[in-house]
Chain A
Amino acid sequence: MKIREITGLPDITTLVPPQTPDQEISGGYASDLLSCVMARAGAGNIWVTLQTHPNVVAVASLLDLAGVIITECADIAKIDAATIEKARTENVALFATPLTTFTIVARLARAGVPGIDEG
């Protein structure tokens, strides 16, 4: 799955579009503990989390992730403006959805994105 295809999924809003839309997503990771993400996620991964803190972008940038999907976000206005601004300046693709992490991960898996600990 290419990162630009995230934009086409139903119920997903693109907050900051990917800079390299044809980049292949190398794997998926879901956690709300940023220390775990720092320890386990890797370059090119898509990260699914309900955290909206600006540090989400800092970690995604640090790890060179393909992008971040913020879940359980029914109201985009509730995301810290600093988070979106930071994603813009650091060129981190950022998406939001009202759906849960479970649902989004299941959809990504059906679309062929592997977990970081499989194939």
Chain B
Amino acid sequence: MSLLYLPVEFHLHTVLSACAEIEMIPPLIIRQAQRLGIQWLAVTDHNSAENARAVMEAGARAGIVVLPGMEVQTREEVHLLCLFEALEPALAWQEQVYQHLPDLPNREETFGSQLVVDAEGTFLRFQERLLQTSTSLSVEQVVTMVEAFGGLVIPAHVDRPAFSLLANLGIIPPGLNIPAVEITPRLTPAQALERFPQLAGRALITNGDAHRLSEMRGRTLFQVAAPTLAELRRALAGVDGRKVWVT
């Protein structure tokens, strides 16, 4: 079987995230991915997957596979990327997240707008509830529940001084089922290992955590048979000739 060689961006915010720029709409995200040669994306808005369908549709028209996902905030204020194979489990997970989010209104004047759009980027509605805050779920609960929906969890930007597994919890909880950890583009994998020796032996990926188009990177490369979650798992485990690199 011939293997593909895919640059990816798995940490991507749309206009649904209050902190994202207004340019983060599906057609522009896909256009930027094409410019950069990124062939595999994941949409990871804060505590919501409501724009996942739109980006998946826009990606499909351009031949770019988009995984539905989310950047969930645990009760320890740890950010975790949750990736799914299909929209249905992602939306089922979203229901769980909404049940564990405080029922507060978004304060647009402080945080910014949370916009739900279609594949063309046309405004559909505001998401009125506050998304960018902690759920009442622990790191372990998120990992267990996402697994039950067939998804996988990658702790986000672990080298950041806040909202990160290493900053907030100091050490990676023993036995936590995470196939990889994400580091920011600010340091190389070698530098990350030097600063955080406990990352030794773990698969590392880098994403732009893009809140604007210019932050999309495509610096992580996957060698897989197809852009599927099963293949992603194999690459992160480094089995069957599947691989992952950070460039």
Binding site for B on A (CB under 8 A): 32-38, 51, 53-55, 58-59, 80
Contacts and interface: CB of A to CB of B under 8 A. Distances in A.
B129 to A, nearest CB: 23
Interface size class of B (residues with CB under 8 A): 10 to 19
A55 B138 contact: no
B171 interface: yes
Contacts of B77: 32
Interface of B: 76-77, 138-139, 161-162, 166-171, 173
B138 A37 contact: no
Contacts of A58: 170-171
9 contacts: A32-B77, A33-B167, A34-B169, A34-B170, A35-B161, A35-B167, A38-B171, A51-B169, A55-B173
Contacts of A37: 170
A62 B156 CA distance: 25
Contacts of A38: 170-171
Contacts of B138: 53, 80
Nearest to A51: B76
A51 B78 CA distance: 12
Most chain B CB within 10 A, of A32, A35, A37, A51, is at A35
